[in-house]
A and B are shown apart, each in its own frame.
Chain A
Amino acid sequence: MEINYKFLIDTFYIVLAAVPTTLKLTIIPLLAAAPFAFTIALIRLQKGKSLWKVPVSAYVTFVRGTPIVLQILMIYSLLPSLLNALMKAWSFDINVFDWDPIFYAYIVFTLNIIALLSEVLRSAFGSVEKGQLEAAECAGLTKVQAYVHILLPQAMVVAMPNLCNLTVNLIKGTSLAFLMTVKDMTAVAKVSASYGYNYIEAYLDVFVGYIIICSIAQVLFHFAEAHMGRYRLSKQK
Chain B
Amino acid sequence: MLKVKNIYKKYKQEEVLKGVDITVEKGDVVVVLGPSGSGKTTLLRCMNFLERADQGEMEFDTISIDMHKVSSKEIGKIRQKTAFVFQNYNLFQNKTALENVTTGLIVGRGIVKTKAVEIGMKALEKVGLADRASFYPSQLSGGQQQRVGIARAIAVEPDVILFDEPTSALDPELVGEVLAVIKQLAKEGKTMVIVTHEMKFAADVATNVVFMADGKIVEEGPPKEIFLRPKEERTKTFLRRILPQEEYNI
Q: Which residues of A contact B (CB under 8 A)?
A: 129, 131-132, 134-142, 145, 149-150, 153-154, 157, 230-235
Contacts and interface: CB of A to CB of B under 8 A. Distances in A.
B108 A139 contact: yes
At the interface, is chain A mostly helix, strand, loop or mixed?
A: helix
B139 A234 contact: yes
Contacts, number: 77
A62 B162 CA distance: 48
A231 B95 contact: yes
Given A129-B90, A231-B93, A140 B156 contact: yes
Contact-residue bracket for chain B: 20 to 34
B152 interface: yes
Contacts of A231: 93-96, 136-138
A140 B104 CA distance: 6
Given A131-B90, A150-B92, A153-B94, A139 B152 contact: yes
A229 B156 CA distance: 28
B211 interface: no
Nearest to B88: A131
Given A141-B107, A231-B95, A134 B76 contact: no
Contact of B93 (A132, A140, A145): A132
A157 B107 CA distance: 22
B8 interface: no
Contacts of B138: 231-235
26 contacts: A131-B86, A131-B88, A131-B90, A134-B84, A134-B90, A135-B92, A136-B103, A137-B79, A138-B48, A138-B83, A139-B103, A140-B76, A140-B80, A140-B109, A140-B156, A141-B108, A145-B108, A149-B92, A149-B107, A150-B92, A150-B103, A153-B94, A154-B93, A230-B136, A231-B138, A234-B138
Contacts of B17: none
Contacts of B119: none
Contacts of B156: 139-140
B91 interface: yes
A88 B152 CA distance: 63
A93 B86 CA distance: 64
Nearest to B136: A231
Contacts of B104: 139-141
B228 interface: no
B250 interface: no
Nearest to A136: B92
B63 interface: no
Contacts of B103: 136, 139, 141, 149-150
Contacts of A136: 92, 103
Nearest to A154: B94
Contacts of B76: 140, 142
A137 to B, nearest CB: 6
Contacts of B95: 150, 231
A180 B234 CA distance: 78
A132 B108 contact: no
A129 B88 CA distance: 11
